[in-house]
């Protein structure tokens, strides 16, 4: 059996696809059950967050496994296989281990170094254990991933390379200002009471907001979170819980709204936010001014001249415009540009006060080469100043996938919306800390160690079966000796038995130690097969050792 992962994430798919592919809790359970019921897979675990969906499985056939896992992901996500396939990535064996370890360390997160992913990996393992879809391989893999992630955070400064998605989102809302200074005195509404919403509420409370209102479909969970905030020693916030039906009223009081629910539809529509803006200002909500559509300026006139074979309109020439500048050739296709280059090379133009003919000819030739590649020379326009928006007074942070807040609210004047999509764009430009390289080295070392341990563990049942067979042979020969030499006393029998056992142990010791070392190296999986063939070991005996080890591990595993 071999490890395989098929998935998609913010690195491989646009947010619109991730939104539609998001899996509910029930969908994750059904996906796991259907995966282990499929022929190629013996174990399965799914890691589903707002930024990724990854299905890990222990499969006996690579191509059949990829096809089956891809089909199951499409089936349970509701996105057609043909549409989903271009965004899927596949990792096998050591590369699959590397993927999970990198994710656990925060290297593959939208905000590099964030530690929340460790809790999500732990939840994924717990779900697979509860459903009995995680066997020996995936239990070992996920538990080691948690250890690797913790090691990366304790031994390096990866935490300095990024923050949690919540902190990063609040920094984007503050638009470069100090978050505590920006948050001070504001009132916050948190929609949802899950792990992300709880983190957002706690972060806002520590940042200095005066009030946090928690709304959740299960009112008891909202009350519990509000009580936790009230009892915390690291803030002086006032916290209270409300029913979801009170959200519209609370919107008119809140300055900051954070939403992260598991809803499949919008929680806050553009109309609801517009009504909240109107309730706050007493004025109807209006759209923020946008940059007017660019009106193409007329082609500037060329310089003075009426030379033959010039593709430009020289009759409309005005002083000060160069017929050899980039503005003159903007928009020309390759054929026309080549004609223009030949005309310039002829030198029949008044070049007083301009560059040399050779320099101009080189410029035009270079532009012609560009046009030959892309078809046209792009027009160069001065950047237009962005339209000025009024200062925002209503801040919305949407951390849900699929989105909770209608993206259209960003058009409303006085409203600033930050969502997963805008966070992805912002994080692409975030600086990478030097500690990231150190974490990558840790991941590489841990992947090698995990592979070696798995390969060594794979041969252990074969070695155990070999020693068992040797012990059976010794017992059989001792019994035969007792029959042939009945006059031996107990002391003599004991000496003979120990001598035979020592001979067998010494003969097997070096080969079994060496075969474990060889099996731990890359490509060492074949040594177990070689042992079984050389000593004619019963496959069922080896399999029974595997089953016994799995049973012992399951019994000893903490609940």
Mark the binding-site residues for NADP(+), compressed into ranges: 192-197
Question: DSSP 3-state assignment of 388?
Answer: coil
Q: For 77-231, where are the E strands, in sequence order?
A: 89-92, 187-191, 211-215
CB 531 within 8 A of CB 466: yes
Binding site residue list for substrate: 49-52, 109, 114-116, 120
Binding site residue list: 49-52, 109, 114-116, 120, 192-197
How far apart are the C-alpha atoms of 214 and 239, rounded to whole Å? 8
Q: What is the per-residue DSSP string for 221-287?
A: HHHHHHHHHHH-SS---EEEEE-GGGHHHHHTT-SEEEE----SS-SB-HHHHHHHHHHHHSS---B
Cis, bond preceding 34 (omega within 30 deg of 0): no
488 contacts: CB under 8 Å, gap ≥ 6: 481, 482, 496
Q: Identify the sign of the CA torsion 127, 107, 58, 540.
A: negative
To the query of whether residue 50 is one of the catalytic residues in this protein, the response is yes
DSSP code, position 360: H
CB 57 within 8 A of CB 14: no
How far apart are the C-alpha atoms of 52 and 38, rounded to whole Å? 23
For 148, other C-beta atoms within 10 Å of its C-beta total: 25
For residue 132, the Cα-to-chain-centroid distance in whole angstroms is: 25
Please name which of 27, 162, 54, 96 lies closest in space to residue 450, comparing C-alpha atoms.
96
65, containing H or E segment:
helix 62-77
Looking at 50, 105, 260, 310, which residue is catalytic? Answer: 50
DSSP code, position 60: S
- Give catalytic residue positions: 50
């Amino acid at each position: 059996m071999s490890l395989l992962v098929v998935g998609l994430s913010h690195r491989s798919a646009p947010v619109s696809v991730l939104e539609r592919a998001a899996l509910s809790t029930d969908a994750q359970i059904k996906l796991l059950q259907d995966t282990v019921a499929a022929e190629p897979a013996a174990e399965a675990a799914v890691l589903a967050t707002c930024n990724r969906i990854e299905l890990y499985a222990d499969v006996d056939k690579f191509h059949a496994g990829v096809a089956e896992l891809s089909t199951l992901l499409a089936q349970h996500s509701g996105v057609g296989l043909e549409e989903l396939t271009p965004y899927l990535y596949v990792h096998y064996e050591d590369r699959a281990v590397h993927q999970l370890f990198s994710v656990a360390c925060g290297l593959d997160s939208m905000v590099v170094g964030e530690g929340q992913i460790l809790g999500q990996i732990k939840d994924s393992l717990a779900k697979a254990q509860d459903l009995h879809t995680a066997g020996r391989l995936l239990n070992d893999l996920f538990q080691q991933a948690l250890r690797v992630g913790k090691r990366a955070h304790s031994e390096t400064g990866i935490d300095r390379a990024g923050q949690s998605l919540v902190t990063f989102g609040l920094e984007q809302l503050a638009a470069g200002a100090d978050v505590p200074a920006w948050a001070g005195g504001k009132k916050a509404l948190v929609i949802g009471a899950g792990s992300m919403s709880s983190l957002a509420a706690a972060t806002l409370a520590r940042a200095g907001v005066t009030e946090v209102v928690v709304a959740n479909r299960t009112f008891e969970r909202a009350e519990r979170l509000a009580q936790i905030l009230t009892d915390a020693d690291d803030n002086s916030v006032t916290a209270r819980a409300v029913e979801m039906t009170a959200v519209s009223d609370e919107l008119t009081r809140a300055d900051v709204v954070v939403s992260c629910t598991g809803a499949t539809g919008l929680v806050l529509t553009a109309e609801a936010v517009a009504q909240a803006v109107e309730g706050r200002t007493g004025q109807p909500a209006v759209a923020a001014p946008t940059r007017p559509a660019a009106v193409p300026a007329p082609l500037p006139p060329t310089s003075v001249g009426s030379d033959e074979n010039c593709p430009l309109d020289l009759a409309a020439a005005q002083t000060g415009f160069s017929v050899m500048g980039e503005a003159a050739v903007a928009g020309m296709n390759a054929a026309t540009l080549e004609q223009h280059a030949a005309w310039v090379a002829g030198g029949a133009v008044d070049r007083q006060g301009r560059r040399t003919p050779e320099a101009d000819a080189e410029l035009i030739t270079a532009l012609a080469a560009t046009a030959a590649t892309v078809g046209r020379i792009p027009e160069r326009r001065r950047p237009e100043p962005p339209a000025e928006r009024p200062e925002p007074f209503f801040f919305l942070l949407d951390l849900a996938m699929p989105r909770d807040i209608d993206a259209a609210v960003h058009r409303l004047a006085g409203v600033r919306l930050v969502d997963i999509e805008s966070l992805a764009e912002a994080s692409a430009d975030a600086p990478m800390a030097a500690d990231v390289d150190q974490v990558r080295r840790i991941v590489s070392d841990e992947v090698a160690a995990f592979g070696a341990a798995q390969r060594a563990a794979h041969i252990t049942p074969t070695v155990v079966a070999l020693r068992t067979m040797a012990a059976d042979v010794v017992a059989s020969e001792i019994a035969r000796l007792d029959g042939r030499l009945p006059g031996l006393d107990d002391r003599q029998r004991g000496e003979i038995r120990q001598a035979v056992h020592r001979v067998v142990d010494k003969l097997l010791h070096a080969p079994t130690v060496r075969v474990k070392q060889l099996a731990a190296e890359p490509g060492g999986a074949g040594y177990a097969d070689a042992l079984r063939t050389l000593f004619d070991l019963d496959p069922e005996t080896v399999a029974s050792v595997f089953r016994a080890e799995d049973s012992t591990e399951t019994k000893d595993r903490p609940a």
